Structure 1
């Protein structure tokens, strides 16, 4: 390869030099005065030695090395796969980029893009407390209604504290209890009733494997979800059988802890149309929710945002409406949706199908510094990549969205290169026995991209026997 590379580069320079010389020939009528010429010393190396070539001419070699490395990686890695790598508008590598594959949590990138196409990044989701009326002395003769607004991170401080990576993003229900007290409520002679009517009451996606539910890998979906829909989460996850009633029960306990008398036990049901506002609490911004969903790969947040999208676009707070809205939104954004199958918002469903071309173009069109870009996990530092690529050249240089379910591994995002550039990449593997089988592929991919452009030294492309220009 080296024998072929050198003549090609020298030929290119020779042609360029010839053209330049032809343009520099003076007219025949001009006679040059050579009396002041100084005879130049013989060069340390021939004019056409590669040691005198601009670094730019070595760039194709760096690209060729990357292609060779990725070809070998793809050939030795198990399962079906697609891979697309670009630098700016220049595609450096593509392999089966139009093949529809299950993306696992890479699906959250699509959900994020669709949500942000319809919801202002600064918007917040509100959880409200209402009542028929508050009598003198702060006594409610009837029920107090806890009305869900779709906040996916509504929870209590102990729940937020149990996550490994801190601080966890959440909306403190304790703050809502304090606000109810601040409104003057001292006694509730009825119950606290949870209203989840903003969304439907379909708790799980039809295509999810039964083990997700049996093992409580994700809580029941509800517009009024507290603590991800779990009554217990320490030693063993135990989901609320009725999420809205469960949320009302948690608020009941918080109010009683603060000295408010609550006569009845928590329940669920839609609030009547004629109520007055007592208190409310707002979620983090939509940009923050999307960022947390991507960085931590939060399945519950993804599925609730999907229902919110369905409500905003299709007028129905359901997963089905949300799935249709994702597909139509991506098409409207001009992204290539051939082969796209949207089965859920999180990527848990093995029936999802996306292409590397779609994911790559989505990444190439996101706003710089926006919610999606800033929400990507950073290798060796944050989110789902906090323990990946540690103490390697990739640490801190790769930002991406991970994905893993049984038989699937994906990683897509951006890599800062050694020459100060940036690569955009999308990779998906299917048909592997377990996620660990996909880790070596991703580790090697990250290393190869971070090393780009692996330019050859002058010793590699030039003949021996000539000193470097600087020597």
Structure 2
């Protein structure tokens, strides 16, 4: 049968109603599920050899489940189709005044374009490009143009009460370094451990009250309590680290968000500009350039989407995924980007590819939500479509490889499955999910596999055990 007909048969079968009963789990998988006390009705599984007309295993395939970060697969495929693997985000610098003898007599405007990977190194390149344009001094302020996204204010602690965790950082059109600071703790052998902030933002006060305590490494956050000290005077907040750090611990880093995005951009710009030998002591404000058609002084382009996807899926980066969704919405329906434009854009693109999106609940597109829903059949259909897509290599290579990298670096790292699975994982409280491709032990066509577990405590171990039972079973087919 020609390859195109095989693909059509696969996709059409994935659109049919449920094929297997609730008792269709193979023995090795059923024993694990039952032994863990997990209700079989809380587990959905789909395993199918690519090109086959029927699945090898379909258990509860049409029950909507929370897929956690497995939903990133939908956003990723839609972005590849809608934007292309060579798509790049632009961040622009505009001079809002004349430049004479190396002095910008006025403000510098930074126009955010939603770059999901404007990390410190990339921002350093941006400031360096300005320096190479001959600018050495800026007499005015930073003007931050954030019009590309039109989003309501978002409480970063609304999801789980942890507003300082980097995974809860909301999207922003001028997000730099994920708005995160890494606090690196280094035991010195005696006295207080050394603490250094990266990047060392000049206006961020850091207080170290850690003490070294004899003992093995362990404890919540290795005994480190992290506090953000709000300054009622209106200046930047400070950070306090206190507690007893076990002497048995090696160097460790605590990554947190501390500042509003605009303050972070202002602080990091000042730091990097001074490293380039530039002079700037202005403040910041929101605004826009007087004439939208004015040529930028500097344009910085992100790495291509195909490269960005590897960071999104291998390491399950939430805010980067949300930027993909927002950008797709802006490109499809014009700027400014909104959450609704992004949601509609992702679903429309997937429908155009041939996916049944009926009942799919996207929410933020990253899976960091209690409301997201999709069925195992729909995830399997997405994987089948991605396998036949022109950008299949970019899609598959973005997934974590069993035992080698990303979220799978420490899973399947010693058995024969190592290196033979490309998967996207997902985990929330009471949710454990995985989906991707398995190259079977005996060779032949790869299989696609989907496991969605929504059960109390699934994230604490049982979900992973069920996933691995299914994946090992698939590997032996």
TM-score by length of 1: 0.74
The answer as to 2:456 corresponding to 1:432 is: yes
Cα distance, 1:216 vs. partner? 4.7
What is the aligned counterpart of 2:170 among 214, 217, 220?
Answer: 220
Structure 1 stretches lacking a partner, 5+ long: 1-64, 158-171, 453-471
**1:67 match:** 26
In terms of fraction of residues, the more helix-rich structure is: 1
Q: Distance in 2 between matches of 1:352 and 1:93?
A: 24
Is 1:193–1:245's contact at 8 Å kept on the other side of the alignment? no
Matched ranges for 1:231-246 at <5 A: 231=181, 234=184, 236-239=254-257, 241-246=259-264
| Shift in CA distance, 225/198, structure 1 to aligned 2, threshold 3 Å | same
**1:451 match:** 476
Is 2:182–2:254's contact at 8 Å kept on the other side of the alignment? yes
Q: Please give the secondary structure, in 1, of the residue aligned with 2:443.
A: coil
What is the aligned counterpart of 1:82 among 44, 60, 64?
Answer: 44
Worse-superposed segment, 177-186 or 72-81: 72-81
Q: Distance in 2 between matches of 1:92 and 1:322?
A: 35
| Shift in CA distance, 321/150, structure 1 to aligned 2, threshold 3 Å | same
Q: Please give the secondary structure, in 1, of the residue aligned with 2:297.
A: strand
Matched ranges for 1:252-291 at <5 A: 252-273=270-291, 275-291=294-310
Q: Please give the secondary structure, in 1, of the residue aligned with 2:449.
A: strand
**1:18 match:** none
Is 2:92–2:110's contact at 8 Å kept on the other side of the alignment? yes
In terms of fraction of residues, the more strand-rich structure is: 2
Q: Between Structure 1 and Structure 2, how many residues are aligned?
A: 374
Q: Please give the secondary structure, in 2, of the residue aligned with 1:362.
A: helix
The answer as to 2:362 corresponding to 1:342 is: yes
| Shift in CA distance, 238/402, structure 1 to aligned 2, threshold 3 Å | closer
Cα distance, 1:143 vs. partner? 0.5
Cα distance, 1:237 vs. partner? 4.2
**1:165 match:** none
Q: Distance in 1 between matches of 2:418 and 2:337?
A: 40
Question: RMSD of the TM alignment (CA)?
Answer: 2.3
Q: Distance in 2 between matches of 1:81 and 1:66?
A: 10
Worse-superposed segment, 71-80 or 261-270: 71-80
Q: Distance in 1 between matches of 2:358 and 2:455?
A: 21
Q: Could you say which structure has the larger radius of gyration?
A: 1
Q: Distance in 2 between matches of 1:180 and 1:214?
A: 32
| Shift in CA distance, 375/351, structure 1 to aligned 2, threshold 3 Å | same
**1:128 match:** 92
**2:395 match:** 372
Q: Please give the secondary structure, in 1, of the residue aligned with 2:457.
A: coil
Worse-superposed segment, 411-420 or 244-253: 244-253
**1:23 match:** none
TM-score by length of 2: 0.73
**1:247 match:** 265
Q: Please give the secondary structure, in 2, of the residue aligned with 1:411.
A: strand
Q: Distance in 2 between matches of 1:210 and 1:74?
A: 28
The answer as to 2:135 corresponding to 1:185 is: yes
